Each structure stands twice: as C-alpha cells, then as structure tokens.
C-alpha cells in the first residue's frame, strides 16, 4: 500500500518539474507526472523485491530522489529532440 506514496511523490515531483523547466509547449502536460510516478514506483518495486522493508529509510529516500534526478534529464533530452525535429521539418517543408 505504501507504493502509492512513491507514485504520488513521483507524480508530484514530475508535475512541479513540468512547470519549472523550459519547453512546456513541446511536450504534453501529463508526460512529466506520469514519468515521475513510473520511476518512483519502479524504484519502490525494485527495493521491495530486493527485500528492503518500509522501515528502512533508503527505500523512501531513493524513491523520492530518483524521479527528481531522472525526470529533468529525460525532459531536457525530449525537448531538445523535439526542437531539432521541428526545425528539420520546417526546413524540409520550406516554412520559415
């Protein structure tokens, strides 16, 4: 049941990062929160499968910090990729 907290923390971190980072127009508003929730949930799941209990602080720390570290990197890469693709497409279509 505590995995819900990891999902909520991850989605919250992703939602905040969506609004704080540049390039919001190049990506959907749900991408960052869903990505954060998936990363937080995956980390929690991995720790649980490794036998780490909820009384261990590392499961909490890593499941909150992992989305905060991974989501910005993914958003930067996706925003740059989208901008590059859009520029190439404009050039190909002759749109200035």
Q: Is the dihedral of CA 34, 36, 40, 43 positive or negative?
A: positive
Q: What pLDDT does residue 87 have?
A: 94
Q: Which residue has the tokens 């590059």?
A: 84
**Once rounded to an integer, what is the mean pLDDT over residues 30-37?**
97
Residue 18 CB coordination number (10 Å): 21
pLDDT in tens, 70-90: 999 999 999 999 999 999 999
pLDDT in tens, 50-73: 999 999 999 999 999 999 999 999
User: Does the pLDDT at position 96 exceed 80?
Assistant: no
């Amino acid at each position: 049941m505590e995995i819900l907290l990891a999902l909520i923390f991850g989605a919250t971190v992703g939602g905040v990062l969506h609004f704080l980072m540049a390039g919001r127009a190049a990506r959907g508003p749900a991408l960052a929160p869903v990505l954060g929730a998936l990363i937080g949930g995956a980390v929690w799941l991995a720790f649980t499968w490794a036998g780490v209990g909820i009384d261990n602080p590392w499961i909490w720390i890593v499941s909150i910090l992992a989305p905060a570290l991974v989501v910005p990197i993914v958003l930067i890469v996706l925003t740059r990729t989208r901008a590059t693709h859009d520029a190439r497409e404009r050039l190909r279509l002759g749109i200035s």
